[in-house]
Amino acid sequence: MKRILVVGCGDVAQRAIPWLVRRFRVFALVRRPEAAAEVRRLGAVPVLGDLDDRHSLSRLAGVADAVLHFAPPPAQGKTDPRTRHLLAALASRGSLPQHLIYISTTGVYGDCGGASIDETRPCRPQTPRAQRRVDAERQLRGFGRRTGVEVCLLRAPGIYAADRLPLERIRRGTPVLHAVEDVHTNHIHADDLARLAVLALFRGRSGRVYNVVDDTRLQMGAYFDAVADTFGLARPPRVSRAEIIDLLSPMTLSFMAESRRIGNERIRRELCAELRYPTVLQGLHAARQALDALQPPTRLPE
């Protein structure tokens, strides 16, 4: 591999690009000129195009040996036309990429009642958001079978980092569920997710699914407690499921309707992954250290 195309230049992609540009020629699909300036600053070559406009993607054909597809589906519907447009553009000429890595979501499993699961669990999406991801996965698997392109699917859970924490929600005192009614959640640090996507380029098996989760086993309320404790905030109040319905948005409530504990043996065994932040507590501790380093030193009285 000599050339990499990054599609979807959000937070995770911007964490991967600095590593990639030291080793490959990296192209990055962007919609707006201001985004082009940012990826150029990171060392990548911007390619203007919009996944919602298939006619704008003609320059993608043959541009790269491998594709990192980080772009989410649209916010509406049950299918992912963005992935359909991307695949059509990549296949519009004879030169196809050798590898394609896609970041999906563990939401495709739906509610598992708190059970421990792995990649053999069937997909049973319960929200349109997850259904769109399942559609994208099906398109990508079919593309791989038809063309011989090696496709890997990475299913990510809740992504966090120092600048992706629910601090404002905790400061507002937004409640969480009582432990007896709470759901199990799964996590991955954004830095580790970026590294895992790059590892999959070299070590991922064709047609393989990987749950890219850390070692943490926490209920959702315990996660918010851990964030609060780390940053010296009051823990959020606990309420019943019946009470919380009137206090949160439908989207937030949808995350409280699904419970699963996801294992990560496959990424350990096949990708030989060594996570920088194996647990949420380690990631939060690093985030607090980074925040403290930005604070001006306290001036002692003379």
Summarised one tens digit per residue, pLDDT across range 63-84 is 999 999 999 999 999 999 999 9
Q: Please, are residues 294 and 171 in contact by the beta-carbon 8 Å criterion?
A: no
Summarised one tens digit per residue, pLDDT across range 119-136 is 999 999 999 999 999 999
Summarised one tens digit per residue, pLDDT across range 184-237 is 999 999 999 999 999 999 999 999 999 999 999 999 999 999 999 999 999 999
Q: Tokens 């250290």, residue? A: 289
Percent of the chain whose predicted confidence (pLDDT) is above 70: 97
Summarised one tens digit per residue, pLDDT across range 224-281 is 999 999 999 999 999 999 999 999 998 899 999 999 999 999 999 999 999 999 999 9
Separation of alpha carbons 254 and 21, rounded Å = 38
Determine the pLDDT at residue 300: 43
**Which DSSP state fits 159?**
E
Report residue 13 as tokens: 């992609």
Report residue 209 as tokens: 């699914």
Separation of alpha carbons 285 and 290, rounded Å = 9
Separation of alpha carbons 247 and 258, rounded Å = 18
Classify residue 78 by burial, with Cβ atoms within 10 Å: 0-12, 13-18, 19+. Answer: middle
Determine the pLDDT at residue 301: 46
Q: Between 1.25.60.10, 1.10.357.10, 3.40.50.300, 3.40.50.720, what CATH number should domain 3-160+188-216+261-277 receive? A: 3.40.50.720
Separation of alpha carbons 137 and 36, rounded Å = 28
302 falls in which pLDDT band (50, 70, 90)?
very low
pLDDT higher than threshold 80 for residue 295: no
**Which DSSP state fits 66?**
E
Mean pLDDT of the chain: 95
Separation of alpha carbons 30 and 277, rounded Å = 30
291 falls in which pLDDT band (50, 70, 90)?
confident
Determine the pLDDT at residue 296: 63
CA distances from 153 to 47, 133, 210 (A): 24, 11, 6
Residue ranges per structural domain of the chain: 3-160+188-216+261-277
pLDDT higher than threshold 90 for residue 144: yes
Mean pLDDT of 170-184: 96
